[in-house]
Amino acid sequence: ISPDYTSRCKPQEFSNSVWAMATAELEIAGKLSFDTTHATLSERKAQRSDPATDMFDLAAKDLMSRPHEYKPQEIKDILWSFSKLGARHPVLFQTIARHLVGEHENDAKARGFDDFSSQGLGNMAYAYARQAQIAEEYDEDSSAGKLTVFRTMYTDIGEDLLLRFFSRIAETFVKVLDEPSTANPQDVSNTVYSFAVLGLKDEPFLEGVQGFLLRKARSLALG
Residues 6+ apart with CB under 8 A from 78: 14, 15, 18, 19, 59, 60, 63, 70, 92
> What would the pLDDT profile of 13-45 be if each residue is shown by its tens digit?
999 999 999 999 998 999 999 999 989 999 999
DSSP class of residue 181? G
Amino acid at 143: S
- Tell me the C-alpha distance between 30 and 22, whole Å: 14
In degrees, to the nearest 5, what angle opens at C-alpha 160 toward C-alphas 158 and 163?
100
- Which pLDDT does position 145 carry in this prediction? 61
Count the Cβ atoms, other than its own, within 10 Å of residue 72.
Answer: 18
Q: The whole model's pTM is what?
A: 0.91
SS3 of 139, please?
coil
- Tell me the C-alpha distance between 86 and 153, whole Å: 15
- Which pLDDT does position 127 carry in this prediction? 97
- Tell me the C-alpha distance between 185 and 216, whole Å: 9
- Which pLDDT does position 17 carry in this prediction? 95
> What would the pLDDT profile of 136-160 be if each residue is shown by its tens digit?
877 665 555 677 788 889 999 999 9
N- to C-terminal Cα distance for the chain? 54
- Which pLDDT does position 77 carry in this prediction? 97
- Which pLDDT does position 62 carry in this prediction? 95
- Which pLDDT does position 9 carry in this prediction? 85
- Which pLDDT does position 7 carry in this prediction? 64
- Which pLDDT does position 216 carry in this prediction? 80
- In which residue ranges of the chain is pLDDT below 50? none
